[in-house]
Every structure is written in C-alpha cells, then in structure tokens.
Chain A
Amino acid sequence: MNAEPYAAAVGEPGTTPDGPLLEVDDLYVEFRTRDGVAKVLNGVTYHVDAGETLAVLGESGSGKSVTAQAIMGILDVPPAAVTGGEIRYHGENLLAVDEQRRNDVRAEGIAIVFQDALSSLNPVFTVGFQIEEQLRVRLGMTRKQARVRAVELLDLVRIPNAKRRVRQYPHEFSGGMRQRAMIAMSLALDPEVLIADEPTTALDVTVQAQIMDLLAEIQVARRMGLILITHDLGVVAEVADRIAVMYAGRIVEHADAVSLYRRPGHPYTAALMESLPRLDQKGSELNTIKGLPPSLLAIPPGCPFHPRCEMAVDRCREEVPVDHGLGFGRTSKCHFAEELVSR
C-alpha cells in the first residue's frame, strides 16, 4: 500500500505498450425487464494499471457491481445486454472476441473476489478442491502438485493450519477466513488485475482491517492492479490511489484520493462525505441527501442527480453534464465543477 498517496497525474494510460492494463471505455448496459428497460450503465469509463488501486465508489444501484460483472463476463444475458462501449485488457477488446478467448483472459488475467464468501464458494466441495480445480484445468497440474500449491496459497493469505484447512468445507471456516480463502482462490492463476467487489462489507471491522491489509500486501508484492468496489468512504480513503464515483450508471467524478477528499468536485461526492457520522466527535444532526436514488427505468433528464442536488438550476434539468477536466486528470460531470473545487 502506498504510504503517501500521490496527487500526481492520474488518468494517464501507459504501463503497458498497449495502454492501461484494463480499461473500460464508454460502456453501456441495459437490463430488459417486464417494467421496461433499465439503463444500468450509461457510458462508464475507467481504467487501472499495474500496481495501483482504483476504488469504484457508489451506493446501491449505481452500477458499480454490474460494471465488474461485465468485465468478468458474468452478466446474465438476457436480461442484461451490453449496448455499447469496449472493455480492453492489454488493448484487446473483450467484448469483440469469442467466448473461449474471454474465458482464457478471465482465467489468466483478471480475477474477482465477491462480498459474501459463503454464497460465493461452492458448499459441497472442499476449499482445497475449489482452488485446485483451476490449477489442474488451466495449468495442467497433477493432483499432488495442485494440492501443494493450494496449501501454499492458503498460507499466503495467512490461514493457520493450511494443510488441515485445505481439506475442509467452506462452512467450517469463519467469515474472515472464508474471505481469505476466496482471495487465495482468486490468486491461484496469478492474475494481473484483481477486482474486489465489496470484499469486507459483511465482515467485522477488525477482520475488515486484516483483510484490507492482506489485499494491500498482495497487491504490492505482485504489482497487481486492484479495482476495489465499495460504498465505504473510510476504506476507500485508506487504500485507494484513484477514485471513480458512480451514480445512476455514470462515473460522476474521478480523482486521486487526496484531492477527492480535500475538495470533492461533484455535489454528490460532497454530499456523501458530509452525511457520514464521525468517529472523532458526536454530532447533532447529519447532513442528508434528500430524496432517493433514481429508478434506472426512468432516469431524470439532464443531470441524473439534479432532483437531489442543492445547487441544481434549470440548466441541470435540461443539459446532461459532460466531463469537466479539473487538471491532473481529475474530471467531474457537473456544470459547476470548477466552482466546487475552487471554493
């Protein structure tokens, strides 16, 4: 984990000759439901490079998990449908290649860890089997070799008694240990990018801290790109290099961590930060964001946040904001972004 978050240039592709390691470019996804078409993703663009942590911050319905699922190719199609954009890994558009190629890439380059390990791990197979399966199918290891490697991986994620644990079933692990087992599983094929979708939300705060430390360590050791999907502003502040804030299927703001917290460039980000209760003092009343997130079946015209925004004016109802560049790669989709950051 970087001890000093850098406020340096962000959004500059180029650790690989083909551009960023993993790049989502103007992605559109719809869900076709009985009640209409829900526009779940509306032009999502972000990227991650080797060795850095991108946090995707948003609340329920923002589209942060759907984006991850689209990257991994695990969207339920139908009812979901990708209607535009590209997802490029090492420059190759994953949406344009065939299923076999997508599987190969998914296996060897990009891995994902989910929120609730109990529902993500197969309950009828041992943890060892689930790790070894990949090694045997993808890397052609023998059973013995795979077993040795599985134990190594469980050791790596600091599960005590790995040799014994490898033969146990997921329900025999505690919540924190299951999450570690999932991380071990995701590392089995040495991915270059790890997507962690709310990895610690279901865990106690002390266990959360252990897991986040572990992820950071692994990331540094392997120079992995880490996409951390979460709604927790505290966790984001601790580990993120860059942050993409999502709302109604859009990235409404993108900035490095220090700048974002010091001076948010979008009213939604600002309102979110102000609504947090503080650990260091007892408050009297919390600032709230009035109203509710919009239904994706009927996203408001203009800026999707305008019905809940303190600063909204007529222009916000009529004109969809585009990305305003705020320097150093910071962007914000608000008509008044420049004013917000210069307050």
Chain B
Amino acid sequence: MRSRWRSSGEIAVARRAAEKDGSWSRVSEPILEVRDLVKHFPLRTGVLFKHTIGHVRAVDGVSFDLAKGETLGVVGESGCGKSTLAQVLMRLEPPTSGAARYAGRDIFAMRGAELRKLRRSIQIVLQDPYTSLNPRMTVGDIIGEPFEIHPEVAPKGSRAGKVRDLLDVVGLNPEHLNRYPHQFSGGQRQRIGIARALALRPDVIICDEPVSALDVSIQAQVMNLLGELQSEFGLSYVFIAHDLSVVRHLSDRVAVMYLGKIVELGTEEQIYSHPMHPYTQALLSAVPVADPTVRGQRQVIRLEGDVPSPVDPPSGCRFRTRCWKAQDICASEEPELVTRGGGHPSACHFAEERSVVP
C-alpha cells in the first residue's frame, strides 16, 4: 500500500503540535484529523435585496480522528449534519471555520496542484444510485473519468484495462463497460459508484449512506464488498448512515451526531453495548429488532416531538428539549464531549451507562 506520508520533518512538526494540545492525538497514526469543524448555511430573504436573517448551523463544532485502515461510523437522524460533514470533508462546500488534516496537512488551505492531488486521496460514494451516475455516460466512461481528470495516474493506453479491472473488483462483468446506468439495477449502480471511487486508489473513502436505497438482500452484497475492498486496499472509511445495524457491522468506532454536534464517540462495542448519552440510548431503543419473541420485553425509550430547528438550536445542551434527564444546568451550560467514567467520551452532564440493545 503506497504511503502518503511526506517528509519525516513534517511528521515531526505534526507530532509536536499534537503533544502541545493533548486532545489531538486520539488515535495513533491518524490519516484524517478533524478539529472543531463548523459549517453554517446562511438563510437569506428578500426579493430585490437579499439579507441574511440567520444561519442553519448544520455542523457546529465536530472533531474526530480517523486512523489508517479503520472505519469510523457516523450515525444520526435527519438534520444532524452528517451529510454536510461529508460534503465539507470532500471540499464540496467550504467550511465556515475549523480544520481538517489529511496526512498532517491542512486540506482547507490546499490550492491548485496540491488540491488536485488531495482529490486522489479522498473519494466519496453517494447514497442514491439513480442520481449519482451520469445517465448519458457509459459505465466505462464513468469509471474512466477519474483517469481523464488525473492523467498522471494512468497512461492513456492502460486506462481501459484499469476500468475492466475495477469492474471486476466490484463484482460486475467487465464486458459491460459500454452499457449505460439505466441498464443496471440499483445495487449494481452502487457498485459502479464504488468502482469510480476506487479508480485513483484513494486512502480515504467517505461513504454517505451507500446502502440506504438498496433492498436488504442487495445491501448485504454491497456491504460485504465494502468490507473486502477495505481489507484488500487498506482503505479507511468514514461511513455515514442512519441504519444502526448497518453501521455497527462495518465500523470500528462510531460517532453519534445530533443537531450538528457529536454527542458520543466510542468503539462499536462501547456505543452499542454501553451507550452513555441519552440520545444514543433512545436511538438504539427505537431500532426494531427482528425477533417477535422480545415484544413487550424491550427497554423502550420514546422521544417526544421532533428535532429542533438547526437554525435556532436550544441553548446549552441541544438535546435537552427531548431529554428525560434535563435539568437547569442543561439549558445554561453546554456539555463538552469528554470521557465521563464510561471509558469513552459523551456530551451529557448526566451521562450514565444504560444498555438498551437486547
């Protein structure tokens, strides 16, 4: 596996910075480091002259590390900011503030040739197999396009061969490279999207709900594929999804997001078997279990109401309006994401372990 580390001098600089600010090195050899990432979208109104009346605080201070070869799952419901997080990390949207480092270097400061090189290292797989592929391009063109954009990766003559290899790697028939997306099923299209993401041999793939639009049986095939590719190519994934079982299956560590913030972060074992934050517990208890015999036996936590608007999130702890533990302090003081006796960080003044998965 080709290493992207630069000079040892740069690594040393990164390490010294990490030592000064102890919170940086949460994992050893992180390939991606995100610190206090913020993305606000302005809300504009007016017909002739538009003025800003507020902001949608989609991502409001997110920090995490991604270790080489690991899968970090990101779960949360609509409006929590996970898709926006993906877009900002891909530099499809500029951040409002905060930093992200790939192999120790600030990705938001990159320009020109350096940015182009970055694009080869971090790729994305999107949710909707029906809109993420250009319907007017053949599959061969779609998967070959990365080589057109980055010609230095593959000399012209070798591209067709590489495209065939990629189709094979994702389990599709290489002879189909002249077909169009509409001739494939949803699951197959998703494989095409994965092949496209793999073309430039990235280190990091951000998967934004890659299996949500697929039937159960196809979902399993694509998930196995993602797992195999990770082993074979040494990939690191940021795996964003709302299906908690799917996330657990592929993830090493999991971050739970609510209204733009990470409320709990830990290994999949810690999050699923020993959740500390009330929202995580509520989320887990809401997942239906495929076993009729546990009806009436489960710890059921039902949250009232809907998620508050990200334009005007509640003061202090954002979850307090739906939380059964809320007290005065929750409104006045925002809880930090720190370890509170459970072995992994959670952002709750009253964090307490409660196992809800039967």
Contact = CB atoms under 8 A, between A and B. Distances in A.
A286 B282 CA distance: 26
Interface residues of A, number: 54
Contacts of B219: 275
B282 A206 contact: yes
A75 to B, nearest CB: 22
Given A176-B306, A279-B248, A280-B358, A205 B242 contact: yes
Q: Is the interface of B mostly helix, strand, loop or mixed?
A: helix
Contact of A279 (B186, B289, B295): B289
Interface string A264-308: 000000011101111111111111110011000000000000000
B293 A258 contact: yes
Interface string B201-226: 00000000000000111111101100
Interface stretch (A129-137, A233-241, A315-323, A335-343): A233-241
A275 B221 CA distance: 9
Interface in A175-213: 175-177, 204-210, 212-213
Contacts, number: 135
B216 A272 contact: yes
Nearest to B246: A277
Contacts of A286: 220, 223-224, 249
Given A59-B217, A271-B217, A273-B290, A283 B244 contact: no
B287 A279 contact: yes
Contacts of B248: 277-279, 281-282
B245 interface: yes
B27 to A, nearest CB: 18
A174 B306 contact: yes
A233 B296 contact: no
Contact of A258 (B215, B269, B284, B292): B292
Contacts of B217: 59, 271-272, 275, 288-289
Nearest to A234: B288
Interface string B276-293: 000000111011111111
For the complex of A and B, the 9 pairs showing the least CB-CB separation, nearest first, are: A234-B288, A204-B77, A277-B249, A275-B220, A59-B215, A286-B220, A209-B286, A289-B217, A257-B292
Interface of A: 1-5, 59-60, 160, 174-177, 204-210, 212-213, 231-238, 240, 257-258, 261-262, 271-273, 275-289, 292-293
